[in-house]
Amino acid sequence: VISILFSNAMSVYYLRKEITIAFDRSIVSRLFSFGIHYLFVSLVFQLFNVIDRYLISHYLSLNEVGIYSLGYKISNFTQFFITPFTLAWMPYAYRIQNSENSQSIFIQLTKIYILICSILMSILLLYRKELIFYFSVEYAESYNSIGILAFLNFVMGLTYFFGLGIPFKSKTILYSFIAPVSVLINFIISFIGVKYMGIEGISLGSLVGGIFWTG
């Protein structure tokens, strides 16, 4: 909370000359109809993060929840690149969407994203055992989940490239249809997988749901 407050305060400070207070009903209406579906998607996916951990604690044990959570955190090593890259990419993509060479830029940036993510995932997969032992040898069971979840992060990041047409055409309402189906697929596979594969089944369910979401 403190870090978010600090970053917001710094943002306001550096943008202070650009900030004005105004109200335009038509703009508010457009922003609401565009953004409300992002809010719905966020709530749906956050809910499923909780359900994932509930399935593990219910069918396995509380200790397995810790193992899964550690695997999730280690797999997020790739997020050091994905998060800042996509945050910088989206406003730039909006700015150039109508330019003559936008298509070639989109293609080149997608290739760069795939290349860098492939390198980062390779490093993560090669050294995941060492990363696990750095935290605790007791979490060795997260070994396979780290690989699956790292690939999930990569797949989800692709939505910032392959899914650009949806916000460009202001069709974000599609998210409200895609998200529930994606989460339902995630739940079904996770529910079946946790019984036969343990935490790897949960990870696999998340990956399949993510592939459906991006697809």
What mean pLDDT value characterizes the chain? 88
Q: How confident is the model at residue 14 (pLDDT cuts 50, 70, 90)?
A: very high
- 99's torsion region: left (phi>0), alpha (psi -120 to 50) or beta? beta
pLDDT at 189 over 90: yes
Confidence of residue 8 (pLDDT cuts 50, 70, 90): very high
Q: Per residue in 88-147, pLDDT tens?
A: 888 899 889 888 888 899 999 999 999 999 999 999 989 888 888 887 777 788 888 889
Percent of the chain with pLDDT over 70: 100
CA–CA distance, 21 with 47 (Å, rounded to integer): 34
Most confident of the following: 29-33, 42-46, 69-73, 121-125: 121-125
C-beta neighbour count of 10 within 10 angstroms: 10
At residue 40, does pLDDT exceed 90?
Answer: no
Residue 185 CA to residue 7 CA, distance in Å, equals 36
pLDDT at 169: 87
* The model's pTM: 0.80
Contact 57, 126 (CB under 8 A): no
Distances 5 to 14, 84, 85, 109 between C-alpha atoms, Å? 14, 19, 22, 32
